Amino acid sequence: MTSALTPRQFADFSAFIAQHLGIKMPPSKQVMLQSRLHRRLRELGLDSFAEYHERFFRDEAAQADEIEHLLNLATTNKTDFFREPEHFDILAREILPRWLQQPTGSVFRLWCAGCSTGEEPYTLAITLMEARARQSFEFSILATDVSTRVLQHARTAIYSEEQIAPIPQPLRAKYLLRSRDRQNRQYRIVPEVRAHVSFGHLNFLAPDYGLRELMDVVFFRNVMIYFDRPTQTDVVTKICHHLRPGGHLFIAHSESLQGQPLPLRLRGPAFFQHEPSALRT
């Protein structure tokens, strides 16, 4: 097996990935891409990166069959339950109570944009189930990702002991079911929580996201770090088209939208309110 991609092969794959996903692949990512491709080559029984590259770029039918796998392996899917937990507190203590005072419809609508394996949308659902114990309301969560592999996992709602570790014990008792097979330490999110979350395939580079409802809240965290600045502006602009004026957008604490021409006003740590008049061009 050839142990390294040539600079040309890497440049071709990285350009393809940037074009289809918006994900930057500078030369510093070569080792990472190479090791992910290495696994794929083994699955396909191929002996060299040259063979894989040749098939992908010279054979249209082979590319059509392989593109989903290549795009899946190009994404980084790190996530956790209750990641950056302050945002879930803000949702439950500030944003939801305001919505309950002045509901914008019969359902509180959230979009988890770039949901990976589901930990984030299920955390949102658990947070809102807890709030619902105090006051009744309807909510629904749309969770989308471009990777078909992570969506498949998210839909199963099954997690290992290690993955559920960040969920506080009292919430685990309420919202997780333990596998009947005691050797197999796996947990599944209860049906009452799952019923509030629907999953869909969505690429942020698509010209039209095809969402029918305006959202009250969007979680778009730890996704745009992989995009260059023009792509970030473009994607967040499109996300804002699906966010109700007055609705809230959460990004990760390590991310920033500073100086970008967007209809958003910063309201707190890494969260914004959609204010169409705030757009300065």
Ligand X SMILES: C[S@@+](CC[C@H](N)C(=O)[O-])C[C@H]1O[C@@H](n2cnc3c(N)ncnc32)[C@H](O)[C@@H]1O
**Min dist. Cβ of residue 53 to ligand X (A):** 22
79 or 127, CB closer to ligand X?
Answer: 79
Question: Closest distance between ligand X and the C-beta of residue 119, in Å?
Answer: 7
Catalytic residue numbers?
A: 36, 145
Least distance from ligand X to the Cβ atom of residue 50, Å = 27
Residues engaged in binding ligand X (CB under 6 A) = 21-23, 75-79, 83, 114, 116, 120, 145-147, 150, 202-205, 221-223, 226
Report the residue number, 251 or 264, with the smaller CB distance to ligand X.
251
Rounded to the nearest whole angstrom, what is the least distance from the CB of residue 203 to ligand X in the complex? 4
Q: Which is nearer to ligand X, 2 or 260 (CB)?
A: 260
**DSSP per residue over the chain, as a string?**
---S--HHHHHHHHHHHHHHH-----GGGHHHHHHHHHHHHHHHT---HHHHHHHHHH-HHHHHHHHHHHHHHHS-----TTSSTHHHHHIIIIIHHHHHHS-SSSEEEEEEES-TTTHHHHHHHHHHHHHHTTS--EEEEEEEES-HHHHHHHHHTEEEHHHHTTS-HHHHHHHEEE-SSTTS-EEEE-HHHHTTEEEEE--TTSS-----S-EEEEE--SSGGGS-HHHHHHHHHHHHHTEEEEEEEE--TT---TT---SEEEEETTEEEE-GGG---
Nearer to ligand X, 98 or 229 (CB): 229
